[in-house]
């Protein structure tokens, strides 16, 4: 049974691939699409609706002219929507419910008539499954390791594009960035053959990448970093040019993703790129568009790349953090939000670690070069420290071993900040709760930081009993630096 007029309209609004097949549909459906002005792939694959489609004249592949079967497309679309709404949460490994869900997904992949959009949707469903729970992550990786799903999907995707090319209505950058984003989300390497194909399709000529919107550029570089893949220089040069060209359209989230990615990839990064990002960060700060995650990503990128931003950028980021914390704590459930989400512990430790590294680097450069002067002085305001203290107190009961050790290290290295005793006491008690999860590096950082902060637990306290018990478990993995620190 074909969809009704209203059902078609709802499908267009809610995650439907039908937008991309309007060349083959009836005029009434075309008019619905034109009136709605909605690109459903915007929601599925995070692409901006105002992106201009790639001109088909820029490619040399033949146009895509299949015999359109509306009933087939409707059937596939209905099955994909059903699977999207029925993603299970794994309760064990192996899990019978998840196995049934994977079998259903494989049956769709084996259907004839799948085009590029449906194949992209199928991979996107795996990324949605992955994000459902931590056990889902393990279940999905086990499934991909023991099945031929990845190789079958790659073969169909590459063969479809090679044989039929790109339909004019399909936004090439949306599909390519979405596919790579899905691989990055589930942390599965696509393989060198697929990457070579992807590079070719993304930059089929020198102008191709410049047609990508800022979010597609951010998603693909984020995926490369998450997969620990450094793209070839030819692609990076095109990426830099395209990103700098679209910098005025880059929002704070996209900027944060890009800066995290370059901090993760490290290597040589264009200084012009970092200076442009600093300027864009200040612009976003002025209109209060930065959240603490973006602030954390930006500072972490600067610290990892050993790039000292100018003082105006440092002040803007500190002020943005203060404003964000003030707004968050004014909410009724602000403190609960900080305590219930573990990502806040990670971003907080990253902020303090980054500021500490940049402060040390700035001080070292100032001592070596008198010509550096006040422009390189890295100043952290007292207002920022007060806001940070409020957050540390709020999240102290949710810190993991890694975040706790990084926060203690930063606190012991920042000369301009004397961490309050009540926060150190909270850190001390938190260690007693999580000592079993500490590895050798965390144990070494903890004890050396306590020493620098002049915190000496009593000889008969539980601290030493737990610390030595953890040390005995990890003594074989201590390196020379860790042993010297202890």
Identify the three-state secondary structure at position 377.
coil
- Choice among 303-307, 368-372, 409-413, 474-478 with the minimum mean pLDDT: 368-372
Burial of 391 (0-12, 13-18, 19+ CB in 10 A): buried
Identify the three-state secondary structure at position 11.
helix
**Torsion angle (degrees, nearest 10) of CA 432, 435, 436, 440:** -170
Residues 295 and 316: their CA atoms lie apart, in Å, by: 10
- pLDDT tens column, 82-122: 999 989 887 777 678 889 999 999 999 998 878 888 999 99
Residue pair 53/169 in contact by the 8 Å Cβ criterion = yes
What is the chain's mean pLDDT, rounded? 79
- The pTM is what? 0.79
b/e burial code for range 298-319 (CB count within 10 A of at least 16 → b) = bbbbbbbbebbbeeebbbbbbb
For residue 244, pLDDT over 90 is answered with: no
Q: Using CA of residue 302, residue 303, residue 305, residue 310, what is the dihedral sign?
A: positive
Q: Give the Cβ contact number of residue 110 at 10 Å.
A: 10
Residue closest to 299 by CA, chosen among 263, 327, 269, 332: 263
- pLDDT tens column, 6-25: 444 344 334 433 333 333 33
Supply the pLDDT for residue 293.
92
Residue pair 126/82 in contact by the 8 Å Cβ criterion = no
Supply the pLDDT for residue 2.
46
For residue 471, pLDDT over 90 is answered with: no
CA 450 vs CA 155, 348, 423, 481: distances in Å: 55, 19, 13, 16
DSSP letters spanning 152-218: HHHHHHHHHHHHH---TTS-HHHHHHHHHHHHHHHT----HHHHHHHHHHHTSSTTGGGGS-HHHHH
Q: Using CA of residue 204, residue 210, residue 216, residue 218, what is the dihedral sign?
A: positive
pLDDT band at 422 (very low <50, low <70, confident <90, very high): very high
For residue 40, pLDDT over 70 is answered with: no
pLDDT band at 383 (very low <50, low <70, confident <90, very high): very high
Secondary structure element (H or E) that encloses residue 68, with its range: none
CA 45 vs CA 39, 189, 219: distances in Å: 10, 19, 9
**Torsion angle (degrees, nearest 10) of CA 317, 322, 327, 331:** 130
């Amino acid at each position: 049974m074909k969809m009704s007029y209203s059902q078609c309209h709802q499908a267009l609004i809610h995650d439907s691939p039908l937008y991309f097949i309007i060349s083959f549909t009836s005029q009434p459906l075309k008019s619905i699409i034109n009136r709605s002005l909605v690109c459903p792939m915007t929601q599925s694959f995070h692409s901006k609706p105002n992106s201009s489609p790639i001109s088909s004249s820029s490619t040399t592949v033949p146009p895509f002219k299949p015999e359109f079967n509306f009933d087939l497309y409707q059937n596939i679309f209905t099955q994909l929507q059903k699977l999207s709404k029925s993603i299970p949460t794994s309760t064990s490994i192996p899990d019978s419910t998840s196995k049934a869900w994977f079998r259903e997904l494989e049956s769709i992949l084996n259907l004839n008539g799948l085009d590029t959009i449906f194949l992209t949707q199928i991979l996107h469903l795996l990324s949605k499954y992955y994000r459902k729970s931590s056990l889902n992550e393990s279940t999905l990786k086990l499934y991909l390791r023991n099945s031929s799903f990845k190789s079958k999907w790659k073969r169909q995707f590459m063969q479809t594009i090679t044989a039929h090319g790109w339909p004019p209505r399909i936004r090439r950058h949306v599909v390519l960035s979405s596919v790579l984003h899905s691989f990055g989300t589930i942390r599965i390497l696509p393989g060198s053959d697929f990457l070579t194909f992807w590079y070719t399709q993304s930059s089929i000529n020198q102008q191709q990448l410049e047609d990508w919107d800022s979010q597609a550029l951010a998603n693909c570089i984020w995926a490369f970093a998450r997969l620990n893949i450094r793209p070839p220089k030819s692609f990076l040069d095109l990426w830099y040019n395209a990103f700098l060209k679209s910098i005025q359209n880059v929002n704070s989230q996209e900027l944060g993703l890009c800066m995290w990615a370059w901090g993760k990839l490290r290597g040589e990064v264009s200084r012009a790129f970092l200076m442009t990002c600093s300027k864009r960060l200040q612009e976003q700060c002025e209109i209060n568009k930065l959240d603490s995650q973006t602030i954390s990503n930006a500072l972490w990128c600067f610290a990892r790349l050993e790039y000292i931003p100018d003082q105006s950028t440092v002040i803007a980021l500190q002020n943005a953090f203060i404003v964000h914390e003030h707004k968050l704590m004014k909410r009724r459930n602000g403190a609960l939000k900080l305590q219930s989400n573990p990502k806040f512990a990670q971003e907080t430790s990253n902020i303090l670690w980054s500021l500490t590294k940049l402060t040390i680097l700035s001080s070292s450069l100032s001592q070596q070069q008198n010509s550096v002067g006040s422009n390189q002085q890295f100043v952290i305001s007292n207002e920022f420290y007060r806001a940070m203290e409020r957050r540390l107190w709020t999240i102290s009961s949710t810190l993991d071993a890694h975040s706790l050790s990084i926060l203690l290290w930063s606190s012991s290295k920042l000369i301009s900040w004397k961490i309050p005793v009540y926060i150190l006491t909270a850190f001390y008690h938190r260690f007693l709760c999580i000592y079993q999860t500490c590895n050798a590096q965390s144990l070494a950082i903890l004890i050396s930081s306590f020493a620098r902060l002049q915190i000496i637990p009593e000889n008969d306290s539980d601290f030493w009993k737990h610390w030595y018990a953890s040390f005995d478990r990890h003594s074989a993995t201590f390196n020379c630096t860790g042993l010297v620190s202890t």
